Amino acid sequence: MIRLDDLTVFVLAADNGSLSAAARLLNIAPAVASAAIKRLEAELGVRLFARSTRSLRLTSDGARYVEFARNALSELRAGQDALMHERDALRGALTLSIPSDLGRSVLAGWLDEFMAQHPALTVSVRIGDTPVDMFRQPVDAAVRYGVPDDSTLVASPMAPDNRRVLCASPAYFARHGKPATPEELHEHNCLRYALSETMHDRWSFAKENDERVVKVSGNRVSDDGELVRRWALAGHGLAYKSHLDVLADLRAGRLETALDDWTGESAPVNLISTHRLAATPVLSRLRDFLQTSTAAYLDAR
């Protein structure tokens, strides 16, 4: 009979391209992980992986079987969540991917509250701005800006009206003044954000029927939104940030906005999940909690 633990090792090894990585994620010895794969291959009568001293890749049989294994684990987890929900207690494990800036400044505290409400729940957080593959990586949900193009994903809105704002520290504006038009950004040091080889250096603004896109420049670039925010707080230049990311800084006076009569580009915040996981009790409860927390945070004075 196929063991659930063996399926788990198989899926994690396939997703991470390494038995040792799967072993680390499960906190087991590499030899135990290897034995699980051998046991599963013997049960199925096929080779699931082609192994060498340097690589591990799925065979054609393994590539066909991994989707069945992944779906089976998801269905079993959904069934377990459903049973827990009937007892009005969330249990099990949740893996969540969150962006660097919003994750550290806001979401981390909210997750503390959510776990305090559900102490039997184990949460694993992956923090970073690089998009995750919801089908190939062991992630249940992700908080991300924008709506995914993939129709197999579900986007539950947290802050649908969120936009980007131009901001800097009071000290920076005291030294350099505030730009009066988007074109004056050429005279300022702009703190740029780059991700996956894409430089986000075209900042857009709109006012009535007037739309402007300005290609900005500056002496600092990062692939970490939190670092860009810290540079802005330290007075190193202008940042074009999600309003939700810098809301606490704006309220405290650590940052100030500019070009207030112009509207920045849309940056809706969503909780992203796959269709088969979207309705699980854990994710449903998390979605409701995040939507309520976001609304309260935006309404606070």
Distance of CA 36 to the CA centre of its chain: 31
Same topology for domains 4-81 and 164-264, yes or no? Answer: no
Residue 300 pLDDT exceeds 70: yes
Residue 74 φ then ψ, to 5°: -65, -40
Residue 1 pLDDT exceeds 90: no
pLDDT per residue as tens digits for the range 120-164: 888 889 888 887 777 777 788 999 998 877 777 888 999 999 999
Better-predicted residue by pLDDT, 265 or 53: 265
The residue-averaged pLDDT of 162-169 equals 96
The residue-averaged pLDDT of 24-30 equals 88
Q: What is the CATH number of domain 90-160+268-299?
A: 3.40.190.10
pLDDT per residue as tens digits for the range 77-111: 877 766 655 555 677 888 899 998 899 989 999 99
Q: What is the CATH number of domain 164-264?
A: 3.40.190.290
Range with lowest mean pLDDT among 20-24, 227-231, 241-245, 255-259: 20-24
Instruction: Give the closest residue to 127 by CA, choosing from 113, 114, 144, 152.
Output: 144
Residue 165 pLDDT exceeds 70: yes
pLDDT for the residue numbered 55: 79
pLDDT for the residue numbered 88: 54
Residue 196 pLDDT exceeds 90: no
Q: Mean pLDDT, the chain, as a whole number?
A: 89
pLDDT for the residue numbered 94: 86
Domain boundaries defined on the chain: 4-81, 90-160+268-299, 164-264
Better-predicted residue by pLDDT, 3 or 89: 3
CATH topology of domain 4-81: Arc Repressor Mutant, subunit A (1.10.10)
pLDDT for the residue numbered 86: 52
